[in-house]
Amino acid sequence: MHAVQFKSFGSPTEVAECVELADPGPLAADQALLAVEATPINPSDVLTLTGQYGTLPRLPATPGNEGVGRVLAVGSDVKNVRVGDVVLLPVGTGTWREKIAAPAARLIPLPTSADKLQLAMLAINPPTAYLLLRDVVELKPGDWVVQNAANSGVGSYLIALAKLRGIRTVNVVRRESLVEPLRAAGADAVVVDGDDLAKRVAQATAKAPIRLAIDAIGGESTMRLAQCVAPGGTIANYGALSGQACRVAPQDLIFRQVTLRGFWLTKWFTSATPADQQAVFGELVKLMVDGTLRTRIEATYPFAKIKEALAHAMRPGRDGKILLVAAT
């Protein structure tokens, strides 16, 4: 089978290689053999290849944290999935490969009628958006939330999920061309980032108090979000697209009592109860099947073209996700 591997950390397009590996060996009684049909390239994958992510694998390793697959075979004790089922791949199992043997208990069956490319992106960005809205600050209908990187995968899901709850969003982007597409997608307000961001956010919201800001960028972008929230507000940071540490001015931290906290989905996976995880994913699957949750896809690549896929995923100004798909 084809699989992506890397033996050292460095520039993703240099260290990632498509290699031939043996198919997974005989299945254990509790395992299922899966054909990977689609798996996305996420910012966390790129950071893993460069050696900058919070947790790093032992090398050599296969990247990839999520995706969708089809069951090819099951062990003798497996009852929850059958051959032919479409399933969500277990998170963090090195999904950039054509086949995976996984514990069947970790598999979540999915509707066969749904778009598999959209399903492949179910495990990370949608729950991140869902939990940022649910768990950081207690929000009620009519409240405002401000987020940067609003055209990202998490950003687009957050707009849709907030609208379902009656929460209004101010969406910060880096170029004017993104304003109208986000408005068409349901954003209540869209503003282009800049030094006077707080003033323009106040104008867009009629100076409504904003208690939650969601930051995917870090650096000066975090500081500008801190100026947008009300006294006592919270900034939840879940990424560092700028490659810079989050910055918040002392006057916001001390005198306006703004809080900066981090969010890491992996932590939720390790601490949430199985019932909570099932409830969250059950709701998200329904919303993805009915089309409420969708994100833009810019291109797909076979595993053999991993270098081209990574170069595209890291391209400035990209306006959609890049996925690796099974060769046809």
Catalytic residues: 53
Amino acid at 80: N
3-state secondary structure of 157: helix
What is the C-alpha to C-alpha distance for residues 283 and 293, in angstroms, rounded to an integer?
Answer: 11
| Residue 271 φ then ψ, to 5° | -110, -25
> DSSP letter string over 264-299?
-HHHHHHHS-HHHHHHHHHHHHHHHHTTSS---EEE
Count of all residues that appear for the chain in the document: 328
Task: Using DSSP bridges, classify how beta strands 17-20 and 68-74 pair: parallel, antiparallel or unpaired.
Answer: unpaired
What is the C-alpha to C-alpha distance for residues 37 and 23, in angstroms, rounded to an integer?
Answer: 16
> Within 10 A of 4 (CB to CB), how many other CB atoms are there?
26
Of 206, 307, 204, 198, nearest in space to 258 by CA:
198
